[in-house]
Structure 1
Amino acid sequence: MNETDNDTKPATDSKKVIYAAIVANLGIAAAKFVVAAFTGSAAMLAEGIHSAVDTGNELLLLIGEKISARKPDARHPFGYGKAVYFWALVVALSVFSLGGGLSIYHGIQSLRAPEALTDPTWNYVVLGVAFLFEGYSWNVSRRALNGKRRPGASLWQTVKASKDASTFTVFIEDTAALIGIVVAAAGIFLGHLFDNVYIDPAASIAIGLLLVGASFTLARETGALLLGESVGVEQTGKLKELFRADPAIESVGQLMTMQLGPQDVLLTAAVRFRRGMRIDEVDVAIARLERAVEEFDPAITRVYFEAAALRSAMR
């Protein structure tokens, strides 16, 4: 059984994505709350809650990034990489309860006692500025995802395949934010167009439902990673071909992988070495296979061979 060097890991754009989102959401949240207070718009208040929750969520992601950077120790010999997934799951719960829940609650309350319509000009100004800021943050996360996008894959397929929870969390949040801004603007516009005080609160409820949907998507993706998701069937198949191509390997059994962090994968290989190999030949073959795996995917930082594979070579 052997292990590859885990001292250095490929740098990611996760923190850059998070910082861009914090800057965008912090300013937008303050502006939305101020305008909501002056205009009484339920949809604008829902958008303010959304941006405030997103700002707090990005801070939680930074906590996860910081913890995940810790070195392995006696209590956590495989490192702290999954801290990113844990805090991303907390973010998903936050989006569901604080973002979605409060927006829906306030929308229902406003439907029961709707406020009179006021001049919507400042609502449109703030929503327009918010769309620009959110668009900037969304584009930063999109570019980070595109850096790992496989040929022919859609952006959504890239999100589902991504193991960088911080990046795809910000991307999903910003996507929901952009759609929410459009819904809020539509609610305010239609409310004034038809002189109907119920359309704006209905838009608040729609924004809340949008956030609930986003939270379920985040929970599903981050939960799978937290439980120990593999690198995928296609990637595992290519790894098997890599092992079969080595002259020291007689047969390849099960290869098991587990994502320990965005750039940290554990690989356990059940292989059969050619019988009669000397211990020094097995050692050379293992080193050669580790180098081949590292060249194939630098994220695979730990490679373990089952003991049965070594015993078979000694018989």
Structure 2
Amino acid sequence: MAHSPRLVIYAALAANIGIAAAKFFAAAVSGSSAMLSEGVHSLVDSVNEVLLLHGLRLSQKRPDRQNPLGYGRELYFWSFIVALLVLALGAGFSLYEGVSHILSPEPLRDPTMNYIVLAVGVAFEGTSWWLALKSVRRRKGMLGYFEAFRTTRDPTTFTVLFEDTAALLGLAIAATGIYFSHALGDPRIDGWASIGIAVVLALASALLARESKALLIGEPATPNLLAKVCGIAGRVNGVEAVNGVLTLQVGPDHVLVAISAAFDDRLTTVEIEEVVRTIEARTKEANLPIVALFIKPQTPERWRERLRELDGD
């Protein structure tokens, strides 16, 4: 339970709701553009966590006749919406606020409240970030962080980790802008800090959108799953060779699998059907995340021809 995606999201949601209220209060007291941008940032992150929880709940609905492959892509869709919100609301507002503050600078009032809120924000966001990081470490195995992000089929924890990382960077930028703006008596520095926050959010949004788009369009399952399926099918009597496997990830734990296999020519149609049932039964026994399994009798030559067609040759 300590590494549950839901726990990570709930922790981030609780942190962001409380911090957003504190940031808005500090912005009203001090007149800081960067602090106002950070308040909107935390508010957007709070909405994002709610959307991720909504997508996670929908993605776990059981397959039915209307959606026989399950609802796993609901999570991918809502993750993409989260990326758009980070860009449109978080980065967009921060950029607008920063430019406005530069063009019409207003002197900062007492920044003490800002520093208190920023310190509290670091504590809460840091706790949420650490929970997300521990969950990512457990899931990534021997992969590097960026490689794990690129190959993940469950975007929830990585989304929270990216949001919290962007939040901590935003807090650092806001603190720097407020300090130098007050120390040098130049309120425009606070506006530039707000623009810096917008850049951080835009970069985080671009990375999240790219990964969500790839999952929505369709990515193959992990090589480990492919190897397991090939191994199971290849050990069934009557299968002379497994030519290859095509897979499509349709959710974090939902995979469509199509096997091309060469069967013993002496088998009858009824006997081939029995071999297929055996393969299906053994994949279920292996507890693989397969929602649909298709097996096509095919010669190795025809399989290679099909691959050449996919390669455009």
TM-score class, shorter-chain normalisation, is: 0.7 to 0.9
Which residue in 1 is equivalent to 2:162? 172
SS of 1:163's equivalent? coil
**Cα RMSD for the two superposed structures:** 2.5
Determine which of 163, 183, 192 is the counterpart of 1:193: 183
Q: Give the 3 Å change call, closer, same or farther, for CA 120–235 of structure 1 in structure 2.
A: same
State how far apart, in whole Å, the 1-side matches of 2:231 and 2:102 are: 61
Equivalents in 2 of 1:178, 1:288: separation in Å?
53
Are residues 1:88 and 2:82 paired? no
- 5+ residue gaps, structure 1: 1-11
Post-superposition CA distance 1:115-171 (Å, at most 9, x none): 1122222111111111111111112222222222122x1222222221112222111
With normalisation by structure 2, the TM-score equals 0.87
Higher relative contact order (CA 8 A, sep 6+): 1
Mapping of residues 117-128 of structure 1, within 5 Å: 117-128=108-119
Q: Select between 178-187 and 233-242 the one with higher mean Cα deviation.
A: 233-242
Matched letter for residue 189 of structure 1: Y
Matched, 1:13 2:4: yes
C-alpha separation in 1, matches of 2:187 and 2:285: 62
Q: Distance in 1 between matches of 2:129 and 2:85?
A: 19
SS of the equivalent of 1:269 reads: strand
The sequence identity of aligned pairs, in percent, is 40
Deviations 1:66-109 (A, max 9, x none): 22222222221211111011111111110000000000000000
Question: How much does 1:300 deviate?
Answer: 2.9
For residue 145 of structure 1, what is the aligned residue in structure 2?
Answer: 136
Change (3 A) 1:214 1:297: farther
The 1:277–1:296 alpha-carbon spacing in structure 2 relative to 1, beyond 3 Å, is same
Q: Give the conservation status (yes or no) of the 8 Å contact 1:294–1:301.
A: no
Q: Quick one: which of 133, 143, 152 aligns to 1:162?
A: 152
2:290 aligns with: 300
Could you tell me which residue of structure 2 aligns to residue 249 of structure 1? Answer: 239
Report SS of the residue matched to 2:140.
coil
Within 5 A, what are the aligned runs for 1:108-119? 108-119=99-110
Please give the secondary structure, in 2, of the residue aligned with 1:64: helix
Query: Alpha carbons of 1:296 and 1:154: their partners in 2 closer, same or farther (altered >3 Å)?
Result: farther
Are residues 1:51 and 2:66 paired? no
Q: Report the count of equivalent residues.
A: 299
TM value normalised by structure 1: 0.86
